[in-house]
Amino acid sequence: MKKIIFSFILLIILPALAAGCSGKNAGKNGDVTLTMFSTMTKDSEKQTLRSIADDFEKENEGIKIDISFPGTDYENMLRVKMAANDMPDLFDTHGWAKIRYGEYTADLKDM
């Protein structure tokens, strides 16, 4: 069930982000690469997420998703990225982390 909910969320969020990646953020040929960090550690979950991203890339030519699974270094890597103002386009986090990551997120409850 957790995978289904996560997949559903990605199917909603990725097209919204793709729409926002046109124009000045697009490369010379309109190609865009979205960076994604995930806390997933199980190989089956990683494969499922990669499969969803692959399907999305096939349906949205010119958009690539670069997924990183940093494992136990996840929190430290995001802190470094926050300090450098170089956050990934997509990342998962705990609900309590709204305080930490709030300025890097968008409220999607009305979507």
Residue 39 is part of a domain; what is its CATH number?
3.40.190.10
Q: Is residue 23 situated within a structural domain?
A: no
- 79 vs 87: CA distance, rounded Å: 9
Distances (CA, A) of 106 to 1, 91, 110: 24, 12, 11
What is the pLDDT confidence band of residue 8, given thresholds at 50, 70 and 90? very low
- 78 vs 86: CA distance, rounded Å: 9
Domain that holds residue 65: 34-99
At residue 25, the pLDDT reads: 47
Q: Is residue 14 situated within a structural domain?
A: no
Residue 67: pLDDT over 50:
yes
Give the contacts of 55 (CB within 8 A, at least 6 positions apart): none
Q: Please state the domain count of the chain.
A: 1
Q: Is residue 64 situated within a structural domain?
A: yes
Strands 32-37 and 90-91: parallel
Q: Is residue 104 situated within a structural domain?
A: no
Q: Which amino acid is at 71?
A: G
Highest mean pLDDT pick, 19-23, 24-28, 101-105: 101-105
Dihedral angle sign, alpha carbons of residues 43, 95, 35, 82: negative
Mean pLDDT of all residues in the chain?
A: 79
Q: Is residue 27 situated within a structural domain?
A: no
Cβ atoms 87, 81 nearer than 8 A: yes
Q: How many CA atoms are closer than 13 Å to the CA of 38, on its beta-carbon side?
A: 20
